[in-house]
Amino acid sequence: MQDFFSSNNVKHIDYKDTAVLKQFLNPSGRMISRKRNGLTAKNQRALANAIKRSRIMGLLPFVVR
């Protein structure tokens, strides 16, 4: 079974694509673990960097209440 980014043929995980990044956040705004979302280690690291970059740019919230 392939992960989300491999199956959709995504080469670069873009920090500006908040719709895709929100799929990997739980309702409180925390990142979902690799064990639960089924990503490869490489894509999980890239996703984490994209989410962090998006939070710093103000596109995603740090905490959702």
Boundaries of every domain in the chain: 4-57
Judge whether 40 and 6 are in contact, CB under 8 Å. Answer: yes
Condensed to tens digits (0 to 9), the pLDDT of residues 13-48 reads 999 999 999 999 999 999 999 999 999 999 999 999
Q: What is the pLDDT of residue 65?
A: 83
CA separation for the pair 50, 31 (Å, rounded): 11
Q: Where residue 2 falls among pLDDT bands split at 50, 70, 90?
A: confident
Whether residue 1 is predicted with pLDDT greater than 80 in this model: the reply is no
**Better-scored residue on pLDDT, 9 or 1:** 9
CA separation for the pair 47, 5 (Å, rounded): 10
- CATH homologous superfamily of 4-57 equals Ribosomal protein S18 (4.10.640.10)
